Amino acid sequence: MLAFIANAVLVIIACFLSLLFCIGVKKSGVVDHPDGERKQQAAPVARLGGVPIALAFAITASIALPVLSLIGGADLLSALELGYAAGLTVAIQSKTLLLFIAGAFLIGLWDDLRTAPTALKLLVLSAICAVAATYGLTPEMLTSPFGDLTLPLALIIGSALWLLVFTNAANFMDGSNGLAIGCLSIMITGLAIAAAGVAGPKIWLFPLLGAVAGFMIHNLRGTLYAGDAGALGLGAVFAGAGLVSGLEVWTVATLALPFLVDVLMTLIWRAKHGKSWLKPHLDHAYQRLRVTGWSHIEVAVLYWGLSIVGAVAAYIAAKAGGYAPFAMFWGLLIAGIILWTVQRRTLRS
């Protein structure tokens, strides 16, 4: 009961701070202007929502232990201390992970403030992903029915590609109110729950969810966007923490499937039709739904549902062990590709 109260307090504090900071950044004058292409809102909208999330989380996470002490005293602290160390220190305070998240966030902030050249931004992010993978953001191995991959160089290259693909995917999916940040919250929560037996309770999760909740109150009304800082930053949290969570790579990838399927299938479709990957477009499945009349909330709820399915499937496969994570990922990936293809053909006809 005391742990529940402590977590609730952390969520409330983070949410309140995030709400206040969101009000501040909405007055900053940094906005997304309609462009008649990817940005189809009726009027300019503030786009620094990632900053309130980061500030609210950082402040709340830093006072987590004092809050727990005030609420439950030494007994609660001793009960949660191991989990706090395992969750916060290993998954958040790891130097490489922290630097990777900060780097992704700052690249996004640079683009939010100055509109960075797309190719240069991608190059810098690629370099950061490569450095992060080289200096520790790698899984111990990649298991499969065909043999386990343990070669360090292969794991480094694969991890760098994963970090780059998913952080960019999170940014690509941030084009409808509530969708990307809501899905990332579900994915991060699913990651924490699935890894509970591996790395202990994730006390850091509650300040993060509270910070996101404060932002979502504004975002779902269409008055504040997460911006590249928010999407790349939270994408980096999930992508990086997933690699050091102790979970099978396939379990982490299953959690990410709602983004991976839409983004990778869209990139393949654009390449097939001779369209540039670097130019703004409306070819993602969620964007096609918006064009055909779905509301922001309808699209968001659909993708939240897909993310919940992915989280439940990942948890079941993780607990089953063996080759279940491998089979679950590939089974759901094939199902996702079929759904994406059917939707594209349906909307085209």
Per-residue pLDDT tens over the stretch 245-260: 889 999 999 999 999 9
At 334 the pLDDT is 97
**Mean pLDDT of the chain, nearest integer:** 86
206 has a pLDDT exceeding 90: no
At 236 the pLDDT is 96
Give the C-alpha separation, 272 to 283, whole Å.
Answer: 13
Q: What is the pLDDT of residues 89-121, one digit of tens each?
A: 344 447 889 899 999 999 999 999 988 888 999
Secondary structure class of 149 (helix, strand, coil) = strand
Give the C-alpha separation, 130 to 27, whole Å.
Answer: 36
Q: What are 220's two structure tokens?
A: 């779902």
Helix (H) or strand (E) holding 333: helix 324-348
pLDDT band at 66 (very low <50, low <70, confident <90, very high): low
* DSSP 8-state class, residue 142: B
Partners of 142 in the beta sheet? 149
At 253 the pLDDT is 97
Give the C-alpha separation, 320 to 327, whole Å.
Answer: 11
Give the C-alpha separation, 207 to 62, whole Å.
Answer: 10
At 77 the pLDDT is 47
* DSSP of 86-145: IIIIIHTS-HHHHHHHHHHHHHHHHHHHH---HHHHHHHHHHHHHHHHHTT---S-B--T
At 50 the pLDDT is 95
Tell me how far apart the 2 most distant CA atoms of the chain are, in Å.
65
pLDDT band at 328 (very low <50, low <70, confident <90, very high): very high
At 70 the pLDDT is 62
- In angstroms, the Cα distances linking 85 to 59, 234, 261 are 17, 21, 34
At 28 the pLDDT is 87
Which residues are within 8 A (CB) of 270 and not within 5 positions of it... i.e. 6 or more apart? 276, 277, 281, 283
80 has a pLDDT exceeding 80: no
Highest mean pLDDT among 128-132, 287-291, 341-345: 128-132
150 has a pLDDT exceeding 50: yes
At 280 the pLDDT is 78
196 has a pLDDT exceeding 60: yes
